[in-house]
Amino acid sequence: MKRADSNNSGSDPALDGLFEAIDHVELGTRSEAIGRVTQVADGLAHVSGLGSARLGELLAFENGARAFVLNLEVDSIQAVLLDSVEGVEAGASVRRLHELASVPVGEGLLGRMIDPLGRVLDEGDPVEAAAHEPVERPAPAIIDRDFVSEPVETGILVIDALFAIGRGQRELIIGERATGKTAIAVDTIINQKDTDIVCVYVAIGQRASAVRRAVDAIREKGAADRCIFVVAPATAEPGLRWLAPFAGMTIAEYFRDRGQHALIVLDDLTKHATTHRELSLLARQPPGREAYPGDIFYLHARLLERAAKLSPEKGGGSLTALPIAEIEAGNLSAYIPTNLISISDGQIVLSNQLFAANQRPAVDVGMSVSRVGGKAQLDALKSVAGRVRLDYAQYLELRVFSRFGGFGDETLKRRIAHGERIGALLAQRRFSPLRPVDQIALLAALDAGALDHVPLEAIDAVKDALPAIIDSAPDLAAFRDKPGDMDDATRAALVECVRQAAASAGRVAN
């Protein structure tokens, strides 16, 4: 394009810039496929005319709402809305964005609360992302993984001693409603305030009040500046609830892939499975067992397989997953629970009966298992926790039979008294984590019989007094900072600290 001649001796810089920009415009034809909504209901839209769209690709409606492609059919696609359905109706135009659903990642998310698309839910400024990564990513290959050899210290004695969790493990937390599943996960996050683990808490379909309680507890008791909260509450669109765990995994993988350690809590996958069933039934997919679609196992398998411990060649980072599942009437054989149990590396089963009996955390020692964590457990802790599970299981059996009549045998009475101390020791108040050295000392004292004559109601006082006594023992300084191999002298010193704690609580141990 030629510029018009001007009688003025000078030239206008703005016009010069405009003409220069016009000179560089590439003229030509461009085609863009425009689809049309044929049907929309309950957060799912049927779209025709976009046959070239890909699974997981983002779409934009004429009112600005977005969706992602869930299913591809012969003559149409099915898209799940990520925004309100208002303004999306039959006949509305739809266009492809030529990008997959993604989420912002990076250090700028630490301490923030976002939705699965990275939109801010707290009162802060928009997040400063290092990059945007797809929410659906392949799991690390087997050759890129390493053995699980480092512990994730939860601060909860019954878990660290009996069902230890390793960095890179997937440990399922499962139980009935209101039995303390989220409490265990939140306490584990809080206990990471003095570690190098970055935590990601993902709320899927939870009540807003429950999410607020969990977030407030972490911000008050833990290190919230090293936590990220991804929230898709029960009032959110089904598409956001469906994307939430995948978005959380992508955010956590950013830290793992850079040689750091991350922990992700998925609260909970039962509601995620319900959302997937809802969308699949709306999409008229063939229902299977309990009306869930046939790909429900693959859905959670490809999600949880992304948690792993990477090899040193890949940076040595780890991503530990604590998925949560809810069961009804104690039925562990339901479809979703059995799927998740088979995918994960163990499960912590919570008992409604134990919870009602005020045994909290209400971990069912007989049903729970960790298939990996024993290899990552501290050697000193493993040496003192070896018989606890067996002794406690035998006590539970004896307690059942003792209901039919008293025991005259003094040996059985001592075993029952010992089992009662185990139960009191494994009970733990919320927001009261125990350091590894405190756990080792308590279990060593239990094994030595130093707690057998301490009244049950005094056990909590012993736990409270113990840390200060151990910290004041100069010969335990090195072991306290880095518990390693425990010799007889160290073991005896720890037992003596527990005896002093019992005495300071006003109860003299035998």
**Co-location of 91 and 120 in the same domain:** no
pLDDT at 17: 73
* pLDDT for residue 11 is more than 70: no
What local confidence, expressed as pLDDT, does residue 284 receive?
Answer: 87
- Flag whether 26 is in a domain: no
pTM: 0.91
Beta-bridge mates of residue 348: 173
Per DSSP, what are the bridge partners of residue 58?
68
Q: Look up residue 79 and give its two tokens.
A: 């898209």
Q: What is the mean pLDDT of residues 439-453?
A: 93
Do the Cβ atoms of 92 and 79 come closer than 8 Å?
no
Question: Could you tell me if 325 and 406 lie in one domain?
Answer: no
Domain boundary residue, one of 99, 122, 151? 99
Distances (CA, A) of 58 to 140, 248, 454, 507: 25, 18, 63, 66
Whether residue 1 is predicted with pLDDT greater than 50 in this model: the reply is no
* pLDDT tens-digit readout, 217-247: 999 999 999 999 999 999 999 999 999 999 9
Same domain, 308 and 392: no
- Catalytic residue of the set 212, 371, 415, 507: 371
Q: Which of 39-43, 274-278, 281-285, 373-377 shows the lowest per-residue confidence on average (mean pLDDT)? A: 373-377
pLDDT at 406: 59
DSSP letter at 120 equals B
Tokens 């496929």, residue located: 33
Residues 86 and 152 reside in one and the same domain: no
Least confident of 70-74, 152-156, 347-351, 366-370: 70-74
Residue 509's pLDDT band (cuts 50, 70, 90): very low
Closest C-alpha to 427, from 354, 358, 360 = 360
Q: Which CATH number covers residue 253?
A: 3.40.50.300
Pair (322, 309) in one structural domain: yes
Q: Rounded to whole angstroms, what are the CA distances from 215 to 173, 268, 323, 324, 430?
A: 19, 15, 17, 17, 15
Residues 185 and 223 in one domain: yes
Say whether both 172 and 304 belong to one domain: yes
435 is catalytic: no
What is the percentage of the chain residues whose pLDDT exceeds 90? 71
**Do residues 370 and 346 lie in contact, with contact meaning Cβ atoms separated by under 8 Å?**
yes
What is the per-residue pLDDT for 395?
Answer: 87
The C-alpha torsion from 414 through 419 and 421 to 426, rounded to 10°, is: 170
Domain count, the chain: 3
Average pLDDT, the chain: 90
Task: Return the residue matching tokens 């729970």.
Answer: 368
pLDDT higher than threshold 60 for residue 462: yes
Residue 193 and residue 94 in one domain: no
Please check the confidence at residue 405 and state whether its pLDDT lies above 70: no
| Residues 291-350 pLDDT 10s | 999 999 999 999 999 999 999 999 999 999 999 999 998 899 999 999 999 999 999 999
Residues of the domain holding 408: 383-504
Convert the pLDDT of each residue in 144-199 to its tens digit.
999 999 999 999 999 999 999 999 999 999 999 999 999 999 999 999 999 999 99
Task: Give yes or no for a contact between 443 and 388, defined as CB atoms under 8 angstroms apart.
Answer: yes
- Per-residue tokens: 123: 């009162």
> Apex CA 224: angle with CA 219 and CA 228, to 5°?
115
Q: Helices marked H in 99-207 — which ranges?
A: 157-162, 181-190
pLDDT confidence of 123, banded at 50, 70, 90?
confident
